[in-house]
């Protein structure tokens, strides 16, 4: 066994590997860029080495610098994590050539499975089911168009070296094929240095189900059940679960056996994942093999009790896999929600900046401790006060829950999301909560098109079907009641000016660019009971009790005898006197006023937002990589105007209407801030 390992990665996965290494008694070495100088993985490691500037190509992708750090530190092995160089065969070979050990599969296995065209041909030889398509690199968009027509729409355009949703498009028309081919080439070239593209038939109403495999250097291979990864947005996974509620035991065994057969064909040694697309009739087809640890590996660890990182390290050290196929457990149900730095209320645009507050829910499971079952686990690489950068992936944490069955796991995840506090940046937590509350998700009736089908125009808070919308109003009234009760108890109040008991108030719900809604509420109790209130909203009574402090963001309490967790934000920038109530994916901004004050508030004019229709503004912070127009140029609606790169993704900005460019206000290569003007139209 090694005594010291280097983790050639950053963020959450670097921290995850460090956790297992420490439990195994191994010393750890971190590497970092200038942007990650104060990052969590640097603090957790025993020692750390600077690689270079923030951009990945100048730091985390520089093989020479990583090898140098390993040798300087005395590390005997390198764990690549996921992303970056984790599936780079040249890196794996270089590690071996330098006399170090790569904690992952051999470079020949990475080569065989890293090329999607070659891996599909190899899968066919191993009698693994494959999707019909064109398995050779396509040289031009025009040839891609001809192939797409021959296969029949819809088709999936994929970069041979793609991954993580990059270099992948689904095309339903000729125009989408031409545009998708070019976009995939650009993303693949920028992210992976390989712009080869191929096309295959897109299976409609598909499920994305993957099999976790584990193999040692002595020829022993097993599979550790499946993960359901069908809840995706733009081909990037959002929620994962294990096991799948869709496939039968017969299908599970058949998929597992094919995954093992494919792994044996490339003499696979380490943890790996074979991804399948599964049709309604349980027919399944090979998609690709990921020759690395997956982001969603914790759900497999939860139901099997196996520490996958530990076995990766042991296998790399030459140890035999002691687990037999018949011993693989499938206990309970696990979910993972990816907590991303993005604004779901602004079309999921990247959100960067300072983490003013970062307080995950209370956990009872930890990474690297598979014996801790049926609880909540948080894997993260960020800390409160840290900076979320434009240079790296948007995922800041993974929230994992494990429960005896699927419905209990869903409830546990909802409660954990309600208690997860992130401030300073936006996250997709409200959207995750909305997904978990959707009846079709709860019933298991979904496929990879679920988000596109049910949220076709994006996500808005009012789209969430809250179990009881009146509860949000009642909670606002409760908080105001508790505030007045505290004020009444303060000493030194002048006679005749002390706080009076108002049995009726009005909750004014503030809406974006719309007239507010007015909700009368009635208190059915006295002011001297600050921890409990009986509140009537729209004829329904809510008995709310909570011992949380008034300045707490997370409120733990009991509603009509049922425990709840919600979040309360005060001193909002738009209205310092307002409250923001968040629960179950829903949120409202409101004022709690007396009847007289509410009537006066009705007389206040609604301030119209500024007219920005003549400007193209940056919807996110990022790097301006392309400007397609010049001053005086006429543009048509739908025409490309600019491209912004943020968090390793290209974002194309299109013209909303016909017009003439008056001025270009930003230049290529400039780092843009959110809402910064790029173009002005005449």
Q: What is the pLDDT of residues 160-215, one digit of tens each?
A: 887 767 789 999 999 999 999 999 998 888 878 888 999 988 887 899 999 999 99
**Is 225 within 8 Å of 256 (Cβ atoms)?**
yes
User: pLDDT by residue (tens digit) across 391-404?
Assistant: 898 999 999 999 99
Considering the domain architecture, whether residues 435 and 485 belong to the same structural domain is answered as no
Q: Is the same domain home to 212 and 194? A: no
| Highest-scoring range by mean pLDDT, 277-281, 306-310, 475-479, 670-674 | 306-310
- Domain end residue (candidates: 201, 231, 255): 201
For the CA atoms of 258, 264, 265, 271, the dihedral, rounded to the nearest 10 degrees, stands at 90
Spatial separation of the C-alpha atoms in residues 177 and 526, rounded to whole Å: 67
Confidence of residue 347 (pLDDT cuts 50, 70, 90): confident
SS3 label, residue 5? strand
Q: What is the CATH number of the domain that holds 406?
A: 3.30.470.20
The pLDDT tens digits for 296-338 are 999 999 999 999 999 999 999 999 999 999 999 999 999 999 9
Query: Does residue 501 have a pLDDT over 80?
Result: no
Nearest-angstrom CA–CA distance, 338 and 344: 13
Q: What is the CATH number of the domain that holds 564?
A: 3.30.700.30
Mean pLDDT of 562-583: 91
Residues in CB range of 484: below 8 A, 6 or more apart = 499, 502, 527
Radius of gyration (C-alpha) of the chain in whole angstroms: 27
Does any domain span residue 121?
Answer: no
Q: What's the rounded Cα separation, in Å, for the pair 376 and 313?
A: 25
Kindly report, residue by residue over 258-304, the tens digit of the pLDDT: 999 999 999 999 999 999 999 888 989 999 999 999 999 999 999 99
Give the active site residue among 288, 301, 415, 509. Answer: 288
Strands, DSSP E only, in 2-111?
A: 4-7, 27-33, 47-52, 77-79, 101-102
Residue 124 covered by a domain? no
Q: Are residues 17 and 147 in the same domain?
A: no
Provide the angle, in degrees to the nearest 10, between the axes of the packed helices 406-418 and 429-437: 150
Q: Cβ(486)–Cβ(548) under 8 Å?
A: no
pLDDT at 135: 74
Same domain, residue pair 340 and 412:
yes
Residues 569-595: b if buried by 16+ CB within 10 A, e if exposed: eeeeeeeeebbbbbbbbbbbbbbbbee
Flag whether pLDDT at 513 surpasses 90.
no
Residues 72-109 as b/e (b if ≥16 CB within 10 A, e otherwise) read ebebbbbbbbbbbbbbbbebbbbbeeeebbbbbbbbeb
Looking at the structure of the chain, the number of domains it has is 5
pLDDT-derived band at 461 (thresholds 50, 70, 90) equals low
Residue 27 and residue 154 share a domain: no
Structural domain includes residue 658: yes
> Active-site residue 288, yes or no?
yes
d(C-alpha 275, C-alpha 47), whole Å: 36
For residues 545 and 522, membership in a common domain is answered with yes
The answer to whether residue 547 sits within a structural domain is yes
Q: How confident is the model at residue 636 (pLDDT cuts 50, 70, 90)?
A: very high
**Contact partners, residue 179, CB within 8 Å, separation at least 6:** 169
**Domain assignment of residue 111, yes or no:** no
Strands (E), 17-87: 27-33, 47-52, 77-79
Annotate 635-682 with DSSP letters as a single string: E-TT-EEEEEEETTEEEEEE-SS-EEEEEE-S-TTPEEPTT-EEEEE-
Query: Residue 36 sits in a domain of what CATH number?
Result: 3.40.50.20
Residues in the chain: 682
**Domain for residue 163, yes or no?**
yes
Q: Which residue has the higher pLDDT, 497 or 465?
A: 497
State the CATH number of the domain containing residue 160.
Answer: 3.30.1490.20
Q: In terms of Cα–Cα distance, which of 44, 8, 28 is closest to 379?
A: 44
**For residue 118, is it within any domain?**
no
390 and 333 in a single domain? The answer is yes
Instruction: Label residue 221 exposed, middle or buried (CB < 10 Å: 0-12, 13-18, 19+).
Output: buried
* Exposed/middle/buried for residue 343 (C-beta within 10 Å: 0-12, 13-18, 19+): buried
| Last residue of one domain, picked from the residues 163, 183, 201 | 201
Q: Classify residue 561 by its DSSP letter.
A: T
Within 10 angstroms of residue 353's Cβ, the number of other Cβ atoms is 16
Q: Let me know whether 332 and 451 are in one domain.
A: yes
Are 376 and 398 in contact by the 8 Å Cβ rule? The answer is no
State whether 216 and 174 are in the same domain: no
Residues 525 and 591 in one domain: yes
Does 178 share its domain with 94? no
**Domain stop point among 201, 230, 253:** 201
Count H helices, E strands: the chain? 17, 39
Q: Do the domain assignments include residue 109?
A: no
CATH number at residue 649: 2.40.50.100
pLDDT at 204: 78
Mean pLDDT, to the nearest integer, of 57-63? 96
Q: Same domain for 350 and 432? A: yes
- Spatial CA neighbour of 404 closest among 334, 337, 335, 336: 334
Query: pLDDT tens digits, residue range 2-32?
Result: 999 999 999 999 999 999 999 999 999 999 9
By three-state DSSP, how is residue 410 classified? helix
* pTM of the complete model: 0.84
**Within 13 Å, how many C-alpha atoms sit on residue 443's CB side?**
6
The domain containing residue 193 runs over which residues?
A: 132-201
Contacts of 567 (CB under 8 A, 6+ apart): 418, 419, 421, 553, 554, 555, 580, 581, 582, 583
């Amino acid at each position: 066994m090694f005594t010291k390992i280097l983790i050639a990665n950053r963020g959450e996965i670097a921290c995850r590997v460090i956790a297992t290494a420490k439990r195994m008694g191994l010393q750890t070495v971190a590497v970092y860029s200038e942007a990650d100088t104060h990052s969590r993985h640097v603090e957790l490691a025993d020692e750390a080495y600077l690689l270079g500037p923030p951009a990945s190509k100048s730091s985390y992708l520089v093989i020479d610098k990583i090898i140098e750090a390993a040798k300087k530190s005395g590390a005997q092995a390198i764990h690549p994590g996921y992303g970056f160089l984790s599936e780079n065969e040249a890196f794996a070979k270089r590690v071996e050539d330098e006399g170090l050990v790569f904690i992952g599969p051999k470079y020949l296995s990475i080569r065989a499975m890293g090329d999607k065209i070659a891996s599909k041909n190899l899968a066919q030889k191993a009698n693994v089911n494959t999707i019909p398509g064109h398995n050779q690199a396509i040289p031009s968009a025009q040839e891609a168009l001809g192939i797409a027509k021959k296969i029949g729409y819809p088709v999936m355009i994929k970069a041979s070296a793609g991954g993580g949703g990059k270099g992948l498009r689904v095309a339903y028309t000729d125009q989408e094929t031409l545009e998708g081919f070019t976009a995939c080439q650009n993303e693949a070239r920028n992210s992976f240095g390989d712009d080869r593209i191929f096309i295959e038939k897109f299976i409609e109403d598909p499920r994305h189900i993957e099999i976790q495999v584990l193999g040692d250097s002595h020829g022993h291979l097993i599979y550790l059940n499946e993960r359901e990864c069908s809840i995706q947005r733009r081909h990037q996974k959002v929620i994962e679960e294990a096991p799948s509620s869709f496939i039968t035991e017969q299908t599970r065994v058949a998929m597992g056996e094919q995954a093992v057969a494919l792994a044996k064909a490339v003499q696979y040694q380490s943890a790996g994942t074979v991804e399948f697309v599964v049709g309604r009739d349980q027919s399944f087809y090979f998609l690709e093999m990921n020759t690395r640890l997956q982001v969603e590996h914790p759900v497999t660890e939860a139901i099997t009790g196996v520490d996958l990182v530990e076995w990766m390290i042991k296998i790399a050290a030459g140890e035999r896999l002691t687990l037999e196929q018949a011993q693989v457990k499938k206990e309970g149900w696990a979910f993972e929600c990816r907590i991303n730095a993005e604004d779901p209320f602004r079309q999921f645009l990247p959100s960067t900046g300072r983490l003013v507050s970062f307080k995950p829910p209370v956990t009872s499971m930890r990474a690297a401790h598979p014996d801790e079952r049926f609880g909540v686990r948080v894997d993260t690489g960020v800390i409160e006060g840290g900076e979320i950068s434009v240079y790296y992936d948007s995922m800041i944490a993974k929230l994992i829950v494990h429960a005896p069955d699927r419905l209990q796991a869903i409830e546990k995840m909802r409660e954990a999301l309600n208690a997860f506090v992130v401030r300073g940046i936006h996250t997709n937590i409200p959207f995750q909560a909305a997904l978990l509350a959707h009846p079709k998700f709860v019933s298991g009736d979904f496929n990879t098109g679920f988000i596109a089908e049910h949220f076709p125009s994006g996500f808005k808070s009012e789209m969430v079907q809250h179990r009881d919308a009146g509860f949000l109003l009642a909670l606002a009234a409760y908080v105001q009641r508790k505030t007045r009760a505290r004020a009444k108890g303060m000493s030194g109040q002048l006679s005749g000016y002390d706080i009076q008991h108002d049995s009726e108030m009005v909750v004014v719900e503030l809406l974006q660019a719309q007239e507010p809604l007015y909700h009368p509420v009635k208190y059915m109790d006295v002011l001297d009971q600050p921890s409990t209130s009986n509140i009537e909203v729209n004829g329904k009574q809510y008995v709310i009790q909570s011992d949380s402090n008034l300045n707490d963001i997370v409120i733990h309490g009991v509603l009509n005898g049922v425990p709840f967790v919600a979040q309360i934000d005060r001193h909002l920038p738009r209205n310092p006197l307002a409250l923001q109530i968040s629960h179950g994916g829903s949120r409202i901004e409101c004022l709690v006023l007396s009847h007289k004050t509410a009537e006066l508030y009705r007389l206040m004019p609604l301030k119209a937002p500024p007219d920005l229709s003549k400007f193209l503004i940056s919807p996110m912070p990022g790097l301006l990589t392309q400007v397609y127009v010049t001053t005086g140029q006429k543009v048509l609606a739908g025409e490309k105007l600019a491209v912004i790169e943020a968090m390793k993704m290209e974002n194309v900005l299109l013209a909303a209407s016909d017009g003439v460019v008056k001025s270009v206000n930003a230049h290529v290569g400039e780092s843009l801030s959110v809402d910064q003007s790029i173009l002005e139209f005449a």
